[in-house]
Structure 1
Amino acid sequence: MKSPEIGVEPEFIEVIGARENNLRNIDVKIPRDRLVVITGLSGSGKSSLAFDTIYAEGQRRYIETFSAYARQFLGNLERPEVDQITGLSPVISIEQKTISRHPRSTVGTITEIYDFLRLLYARASIAYSYNTGEEMVRYSEEQITKLIIKEYRGKKIALLSPLVKGRKGHYRELFEQILKWGFLRARIDGEIHDLTDRYKLDRYKIHDIEIVIDRLIMDGSDETRIKQSVKTSLKYGKGILQVLDLESDDTRFFSKFLMCPTTGISYANPEPNLFSFNSPYGACPKCNG
């Protein structure tokens, strides 16, 4: 029989002279990369061909690639009764067995891949903003400082700590608290106001409020001040800060958590129980579903 050329992926798995169990020296060609069904009467040799011959040989070849040290813990796998098998790839076998069902069972729980998928989404996934479609980002305090120095060089900026976003209220007590913290200005609904003027809000309208932590000219002369202001902004913004370009009035968000850089939508860092239908942590906050 002609061997397949090196580097060329074979089109078939070819079995020559299979004699395992009740097989009688059969030859068969099975197309690769297809869904193939082996059918026949009970006892005709379906399992002998699929499991005891093809799977057994694929597993044996795979284990032969291990080091001699590793193979000593696995034991010897006998070669199946067959003359030759070509076109084999690494193999996986899923046995038929009786499974216990539950009203809350899913394909994921029955096949036991559910926990692995939760880990995959929690540790290796990339989150995207549902609002803009942008990739969510998170930074350390040091990274935020470096990005601000790099991207706002030569500009006049203000560092802001967001406190209120899209909520109604008069916020008199909040303004008094901001003054007690030692800050005199806040950006309210897109405009900077002096809080010592007893600024009043319509309690029935939606408001956005950010503390003005510092105003800076980014000429590179005082990096220590920038670092301290970033630290303070993150403290009062609970891990989130905004940079306001005082010339263009554009803003950008930076966060120590997963966040959309354009809208400031922020998510908690994903954990495996976020993707668990048995955990309240992963439930919808509105319907608890």
Structure 2
Amino acid sequence: MFPSSMAVRSKSMIRIVGAREHNLKNLSVNVPRGKFVVITGVSGSGKSTLAFDIIFSEGQRRFLDSMNAYARQFVEPLERPDIDRIEGLPPTVSIEQRNSQGGGKSTVGTVTEIHQFLRLLFARLGTPYCLDCDLPTSGQTPDAITRSLKRATRDRGALRLLAPVIRNRKGFHSDIATWAQQHGYLRLRADGQWYASDEPFRLSRYKEHDVEVEIGQITSSRQATAACQSVVEETLRVGKGLLLALDEQGNGTMHGTRQACQGCGYSMPPLDPKLFSYHSARGWCETCRGFGELFHIPDVDRGARADAIEESWFQWQEGKRERCPDCDGARLNPMARSVRLNLDGFPNSLTGPRGHDFKNHPPTIDTFSAMTVREALELFEATRLKGREKEIARDILPEIRERLFFLQEVGLDYLQLGRSVTTLSGGENQRIRLAAQLGSTLSGVLYVLDEPTIGLHARDNVHLLRTLKRLQQRGNSLIVVEHDEDTMREADHVIDLGPGAGIHGGRIIATGTLNQLCRNKASLTGQALRQKRTFPLSGCRRPVEGLELGADLRKGKKR
């Protein structure tokens, strides 16, 4: 048991004793919790070692140790840093300057979860349009479906009517065969392969599957209408409003009581957020598989590790990839890109990228991907929903607006939502993840950041510091490795490491508030903050004679 004074201290202080990692010299220091702490010092003095290799790594190690044995088997164990002990350490989150977030399918929108909320918005309020007629779809009656299928038999021949009972769901699903047999259905199809209902089958547990039960057939247009409508209605009942008509060649068309084209009868399944995901086989472009670019992959058996192998080859072929001609870089299949968001609450006068008129030409989800953060925020702030739209989007739009606002606050309002994170600089990547953390509303967490102000204009620096303060005000602690003067002046506590780099560093020179740091004569950082210092000139410039070219700028003739 800790003494009561130590327990109180551990709640308000992170106490590090005997740190010897890398070049640290048996360092001991107290870091206040719930504060904005800056670790500074010359390059190579041990700032990142203290912040990331000790504080962050030990926080992660303790978090993983708290998991059960089953969960830990999927995570590589972390080594304990070379330290005597560390007390009062809360859960830690690292936001470093490196492109480690996601891969070739990750975008600004997916990392900040804006795309996830857009997917939900399109699934709830989107209107599918027919791929051939470009007309909005609407619900079909069983009678209309029956007439459409009887007409189709003239060109396609006999049609098997299947009820989709499992769509894009993981699991064994072996109970479906038992259920089908009990209800008198003789055959079913799982992932395109046929099974008898009395034949035991077992699917891969961790893959998404489609399972349909065969209900009956429509053999020809001369078949009795009453009999056809009866099997159609039974199929729709088992499939919960969906029906898959399969011809002898294995080609299928989906029909349903929800969405269908009034011109040609084309029917779409119910909208689902997975339809708009680059990571799902249901949504991605079949040519580029969600990458938006084409690249060569050797013809090898990829098996269960297909996604990891594709990601590796995507990274290795940097500079050799070309834009996908089928989706034009949008990453999604035609069905996903045919869904439009036709909201009455869109403003009349606002135009988006390339002059897009949202009011008269409803946007698709790739329209939003082409928008910058600034354009998207302007649109959603001007959107005023009413009635059913307002009720459905009540919890979605505020989440989108908030995340867009955070991106603007960290100075990234010029980025397109569909831009790949692999094309971002280290500083942009770090601020993207900082904005994502602001949107997560976590509290009681220790955030460790690595020089977030690098490359920022002074105006954006002010926004960034305001953002960091907002994170702290939510009950979090901040440790920032930084050289920036403005950041140090905003900090509640400063730790100065030095005095030199490498073997000459690794010691605490000064620690405390800014005023305490400025009064410490041993701290060069404190002296520089207290009084501006000028760098001594190395000497006078040597005289340099001019070089005469003898050419006329306008005519290129020698004078």
When normalised by structure 1's length, the TM-score is 0.47
Bigger fraction of residues in helix: 2
TM-score, length-normalised on structure 2? 0.26
